[in-house]
Structure 1
Amino acid sequence: MKSIKSILSVFAAALFVNVAVASTPNTGKKATTLPVDTKGSKIHWLAKKVTGQHEGTIAISSGSLVTSGTKVTGGSFVIDMKSIVCTDITDAEYNKKFIGHITTGDFFEVEKFPTSTFKITKVAGANITGDLTLHGITKSITFPAKIAVAGGKTTATASIPVDRTEFNVKYGSKKFFESIGDKAIDDVFNLDVTLVAGK
């Protein structure tokens, strides 16, 4: 009789444990897709040459970030190539001429390629890897980024060096025009990206 009671006690205890485990809520973090705030997001560009440099802004037209807790796990954004602005040239006529130059055939051909895109393919610690499509060519790039979560919004910031020659933008590059001298333009330009996402 005692052995039967013992068996029943063990069975009851096991049943209680199983029910308790089954009723424990799942605490795993769900992935959340947040729309990019295009007004709060921005890109600052900087391009250098032998005799100086130019800088400006370019708009993000759409995008999203995928988050899990306080971590970014994926996402993408679209850059409006027709929105390129130069902020350091104060002469209106020269500014217009400069923008006309970098948006046509010698550089980014924005009529043919009106947008560029970046899509995250991997996040490892502080490093983000993704596919950058620029001038109709897609390349994988990796760079460090900082992520901040506050007030229901996620902000990702990064300084991204881009070698334009890898995207078939060769104008003024010593890599292709060795005798260009002081008219050379650096192959690498920099994009300081601030991406704000959330409702």
Structure 2
Amino acid sequence: MKMKKLATLLVLVIAIATAGFASNGKDDKATYSVDTKASKVYWTGKKVAGEHTGYVLIESGKVHVSNNAVTSADIKMDMTSIEVTDLEGEWKDKLVAHLKNDDFFSVDKHAEAEFKITSFENNKVVGDLTIKGITNEVSFPAEVKIEGNELTASGTASIDRTKWDIRYGSGKFFSGLGDNMIKDEFEIKFELKATASEE
């Protein structure tokens, strides 16, 4: 009887040890490639008299996942694709051209922007955003869903454009702007879709 109890106890110990080893041993990693056609980065710029909205296309992107949690990502944005969505015709064309010149994003010199996620914990993204060759750390709340080989992510960051040397119409650097003053803070909203690929 004692031998039977001892054998049962031994089996139980082995089972617990095996379960613990299994949960801690393998690190399930995956890389998700961003679907550039289904993903965009939306922007909102505000001024005293109103606001403008638009988007930028994503050129490429990889999201790295370990044990079903995002560990890092690298998203490249095509700044030549800047679009305005609240205007039409001549006024739209003028604003797009203005956003591309040196007053704003200097697209001829800096055709690409990049966002590298360095950590994602408690639904908070931290990463390095590079615009016009200038890199600053940003953080903002985000939601990531992983279902099978599909990953979706969304989040909105509010950033101070002057940190990336975008000073046009800023009250920090120019006086007497009146209704022409543009707010330094603007919003960037990421909408990503990605599919798992073999590493």
TM-score (norm 2): 0.85
Q: Secondary structure at the match of 1:100?
A: helix
Structure 2 residue aligned with 1:4:
none
Summarize the alignment of residues 37-76 of structure 1 with structure 2, pairs less than 5 Å apart.
37-76=35-74
Q: Secondary structure at the match of 2:192?
A: strand
Structure 2 residue aligned with 1:135:
132
Structure 1 residue aligned with 2:3:
none
Q: For the residues of structure 2 that align with 1:198 and 1:23, how far apart are their CA atoms?
A: 30
Summarize the alignment of residues 12-31 of structure 1 with structure 2, pairs less than 5 Å apart.
26-28=22-24, 29-31=27-29
Structure 2 residue aligned with 1:79:
77
Q: Kindly state the Cα deviation for residue 21 of structure 1 after the two structures are TM-superposed.
A: 5.4
Q: Is 1:94–2:127 an aligned residue pair?
A: no
Q: For the residues of structure 1 that align with 2:60 and 2:113, how far apart are their CA atoms?
A: 11
Summarize the alignment of residues 114-153 of structure 1 with structure 2, pairs less than 5 Å apart.
114-153=111-150
Q: What do residues 76-112 of structure 1 show as CA deviations (whole Å, max 9, x unaligned)?
A: 100100001101112x112111111110011100010
Q: For the residues of structure 2 that align with 1:183 and 1:22, how far apart are their CA atoms?
A: 68
Aligned CA distance change for structure 1 residues 173 and 23 (closer, same or farther; 3 Å): closer
Q: Secondary structure at the match of 1:113?
A: coil
User: How many positions carry a matched residue from both structures?
Assistant: 187
* Percent of residue pairs bearing the same amino acid type: 37
Aligned CA distance change for structure 1 residues 97 and 21 (closer, same or farther; 3 Å): same
Structure 2 residue aligned with 1:194:
191
Structure 1 consecutive aligned stretches of length 4 or more whose deviation exceeds 4 Å: 20-25
Q: Kindly state the Cα deviation for residue 185 of structure 1 after the two structures are TM-superposed.
A: 0.4
Q: Which one has a bigger Cα radius of gyration?
A: 1
Q: Kindly state the Cα deviation for residue 198 of structure 1 after the two structures are TM-superposed.
A: 1.1
Summarize the alignment of residues 169-188 of structure 1 with structure 2, pairs less than 5 Å apart.
169-188=166-185
Corresponding letter in the other structure for 1:171: Y
Q: Secondary structure at the match of 1:95?
A: helix
Q: Kindly state the Cα deviation for residue 68 of structure 1 after the two structures are TM-superposed.
A: 2.2
Higher strand proportion (structure 1 or 2): 2
TM-score (norm 1): 0.85
Q: Kindly state the Cα deviation for residue 194 of structure 1 after the two structures are TM-superposed.
A: 0.9
RMSD between aligned residues:
2.4
* Structure 2: runs of 5+ lacking an equivalent: 1-5
Q: For the residues of structure 1 that align with 2:146 and 2:118, how far apart are their CA atoms?
A: 21
